[in-house]
Amino acid sequence: MIRKVDSLREVQFCLLLLALSGCGKKDGSLAEVQGDVTFCGQPAVAEISFELLNTAGKAVGRASTATSDESGRFRLMLDESQPGAKIGRHRVVVRAQRLAPSSAAAEQSETSRDGVIGTLKATQVIREVQAGDNQFHFRLTY
């Protein structure tokens, strides 16, 4: 009986080691994707989504997403632990939610401190993610 318990513990330990061996391993099918979003020349807080497309133009797999910060900068994440996007052709959807607040606008009105609420502009484009570091600049206008 004691030997069975030891064997079970050994099996559990081996399974734990096997599971942990994949941690920290970089996915070679992903590439770093960063960039910025502006609307009419001003930094915009926006939602960005990159959907990998197959040869027929259909979305496949999980999309990489980001939300830009107050300076309009973003970094895509495939999930909570994997930065980047799959290498290949993507349908990119950018939804500018609001302009980053300027100091002059904040002084004029308390209600404008957070910028405009709602989608200012939504656009869809095709972009190619290549191995290595990718920089994309989305310049939205009316």
CATH of the domain at 53: 2.60.40.10
Per the structure, the count of domains in the chain is 1
Residue-range definition of the domain harbouring residue 47: 27-140
In-domain check, residue 19: no
Two tokens at 129?
A: 């993610």
Mean pLDDT by 10 residues, the chain (142 residues): 58 56 66 97 96 96 96 97 97 93 49 56 96 97 88
In-domain check, residue 130: yes
Alpha-helical (H) ranges within the chain are 2-21, 103-108
Contact predicate 33/59, CB 8 Å = no
Q: How many helices (H) and strands (E) does the chain have?
A: 2, 8
In-domain check, residue 17: no
In-domain check, residue 103: yes
In-domain check, residue 134: yes
pTM surpassing 0.75? no
pLDDT reported for residue 108? 46
In-domain check, residue 40: yes
